[in-house]
Copies of this chain bind each other. A is one copy, B any other.
Amino acid sequence: MAKSEPAKKDKPHKAKKDKTKKTDRAKQKAVKSAKTPAGPLVSPLAPRGGFPALPVIKGAAFAAASAGVKYQGRTDVMLVTLAPGTTIAGTFTRSSTRAAPVLDCQAKLVSKPASDTGAAILVNSGNANAFTGAAGVTSVGAITGAVAAALSIPPARVYSASTGVIGQELPHSRIIAKLPDLCAALRPDGIGMAARAIMTTDTFPKGAFAEIEIDGVPVHISGIAKGSGMIAPDMATMLVYIFTDAKIAQPVLQKMLSRLTETTFNCITVDGDTSTSDSLMLAATGQAGATEITDLRSKGARAFQGALHAVMLDLAQQVVRDGEGATKFVTVAVSGADSDADARRVAFAIADSPLVKTAIAGEDPNWGRIVMAVGKSGAKADRDRLTICFGDVLVAEHGQVAPSYREEDGAAHMRGQDLMIKVDLGLGAGQCTVWTCDLTHRYIDINADYRS
């Protein structure tokens, strides 16, 4: 697919006036496609069965519209409305160059607005409203103010996000002009449309859900995500919105979200790059009729957290499965480290290593590169206590290749689509599991712009 729409990415280089260059580029793309095979329209790692049938969340309604922010012929804005009483939590990119909407969401969450009014989330794709100076702040104020006015709710309860080109002013009036249509189109079962409207380079919309009972009352969680490039921890480059009809006090909701983010969205990496716009929000409408969760240690809280973890992990892994150019889904499980932090260092040193990722692309059981990555990680490691497995195949131990290891066993594991790299450092109880994908020619096709 190379860069055919809707696969446009956060990049500032496409001046609209630049017609000549576009023609040149089209020519070069033709040349390039003679060299590299056409990409899949949908990632080969996409979950089978397509977008799941997400349960309706009472108190949440969704709409999507085509505002023409950048893309033509597709939806690019989603609006979510949330009933009075909804509590909201969020985690965001730690980038020091984060975008105006991210700063606005963070400020609003910190101000702890009362949850007795309605709330809303508006997201556009096609333009990230990042590195846009004062104009960026103006756009956020204009959009969230207009949504607040249209829905008669306080601006402090309106959150927004933008994803797409960095460094171009957001044409916010195009979005505001669509608000009447969006408000008229709101539907409790519209979450699938919303998931599609926020896609950029994604090759499939991402959704996950869970259903549990709290004190005998059924409670639902439905979540959507976008993201496929600029994916790295803290946070992965993503927008994620999760909704539940459980009733959860805001401080508890925030603690659950922050804690579970560490082992889900902060444990994935596609290219080690971090976006300026990553946002993850969790809204609890409280309309299932279940007992309110006010204590993290309660039975209800534990049940809910288990279900929320499953939804977050599913969405996080779907982001990796849509990693730009990915053909292999790789789990890197590190154990026996001196600390969890050290295990994390080793896991990401492996998962981010271009040499490891290209070997995986080539189905090469190149365990020497795993040794290299462990060595460079900076974590405490003893070469002679290191154990490496590919899946169930013991590859290396005691500072050398395992006597039982046969190259063909390692190669057989690497030919699979879902791979497992296990590293035990033999030092302590620290552990960490992260998920990544391979590094292929397609990643370069997608991210290099052939206009020389």
Q: Per a CB cutoff under 8 Å, which of B232, B384, B441, B450 touches A362? A: B450
Q: What separation, in Å, do the CA atoms of A332 and B352 have in the docked complex?
A: 21
Instruction: Tell whether, in the assembled complex, residue B131 and residue A361 are in contact, meaning their CB atoms are under 8 Å apart.
Output: no
Instruction: Tell whether, in the assembled complex, residue A13 and residue B273 are in contact, meaning their CB atoms are under 8 Å apart.
Output: no
What 0/1 readout, one digit per residue, does chain A (151-173) give for beta carbons within 8 Å of chain B? 00000000000000111100000
Instruction: Tell whether, in the assembled complex, residue B130 and residue A368 are in contact, meaning their CB atoms are under 8 Å apart.
Output: yes
Q: Interface extent on A, as a size class? A: 35 or more
CB distance from A427 to the nearest CB of B (A): 11
What 0/1 readout, one digit per residue, does chain A (127-156) give for beta carbons within 8 Å of chain B? 010111111100000000000000000000
Instruction: Tell whether, in the assembled complex, residue A451 and residue B376 are in contact, meaning their CB atoms are under 8 Å apart.
Output: no
Q: What separation, in Å, do the CA atoms of A96 and B352 have in the docked complex?
A: 18
Instruction: Tell whether, in the assembled complex, residue A443 and residue B354 are in contact, meaning their CB atoms are under 8 Å apart.
Output: yes
Stretch at the interface among A187-195, A248-256, A300-308, A399-407: A399-407
**Residue A217 at the chain B interface, CB threshold 8 Å:** no
**Residue A272 at the chain B interface, CB threshold 8 Å:** yes
Instruction: Tell whether, in the assembled complex, residue A372 and residue B96 are in contact, meaning their CB atoms are under 8 Å apart.
Output: no
CB distance from A300 to the nearest CB of B (A): 37
Q: What separation, in Å, do the CA atoms of A379 and B95 have in the docked complex?
A: 10
Instruction: Tell whether, in the assembled complex, residue A274 and residue B131 are in contact, meaning their CB atoms are under 8 Å apart.
Output: no
From 365 to 398 in chain A, residues with beta carbon under 8 angstroms from any chain B beta carbon are: 365-369, 371-377, 379-384, 386, 396, 398
Q: Per a CB cutoff under 8 Å, which of B12, B136, B358 touches A448? A: B358
Instruction: Tell whether, in the assembled complex, residue B363 and residue A97 are in contact, meaning their CB atoms are under 8 Å apart.
Output: no
Q: Chain B residues near A368 (CB, 8 Å)?
A: 10-12, 128, 130-131, 165-167
Instruction: Tell whether, in the assembled complex, residue A95 and residue B375 are in contact, meaning their CB atoms are under 8 Å apart.
Output: yes
Q: Chain B residues near A227 (CB, 8 Å)?
A: none
CB distance from A405 to the nearest CB of B (A): 10
CB distance from A398 to the nearest CB of B (A): 6
Instruction: Tell whether, in the assembled complex, residue B12 and residue A366 are in contact, meaning their CB atoms are under 8 Å apart.
Output: yes
Instruction: Tell whether, in the assembled complex, residue B355 and residue A273 are in contact, meaning their CB atoms are under 8 Å apart.
Output: yes
Q: What separation, in Å, do the CA atoms of A232 and B232 have in the docked complex?
A: 20
CB distance from A103 to the nearest CB of B (A): 9
Q: Which residue of B lies closest to A398 (CB)?
A: B133
**Residue A364 at the chain B interface, CB threshold 8 Å:** yes
**Residue A4 at the chain B interface, CB threshold 8 Å:** no
User: Considering residues A132, A167, A439, A444, which has the most beta carbons from chain B within 10 angstroms of its beta carbon?
Assistant: A444
Q: What separation, in Å, do the CA atoms of A440 and B398 have in the docked complex?
A: 36
Instruction: Tell whether, in the assembled complex, residue A133 and residue B399 are in contact, meaning their CB atoms are under 8 Å apart.
Output: yes
23 contacts between A and B (CB under 8 A): A11-B368, A13-B365, A35-B35, A93-B375, A95-B376, A96-B380, A96-B383, A97-B371, A97-B381, A128-B368, A131-B383, A133-B398, A166-B371, A167-B396, A167-B400, A167-B401, A234-B376, A271-B354, A272-B352, A275-B372, A359-B449, A362-B452, A415-B452
Binding site for B on A (CB under 8 A): 10-13, 15, 18, 21, 35-37, 93, 95-98, 128, 130-136, 165-168, 229-230, 232, 234, 271-276, 352-355, 358-359, 361-369, 371-377, 379-384, 386, 396, 398-401, 407, 410-411, 415, 439-441, 443-444, 447-452
| Supplied contacts A12-B368, A128-B368, A166-B372, 10 more A-B pairs, CB within 8 Å | A95-B376, A131-B368, A273-B376, A358-B443, A358-B447, A359-B448, A362-B450, A363-B451, A440-B444, A440-B448
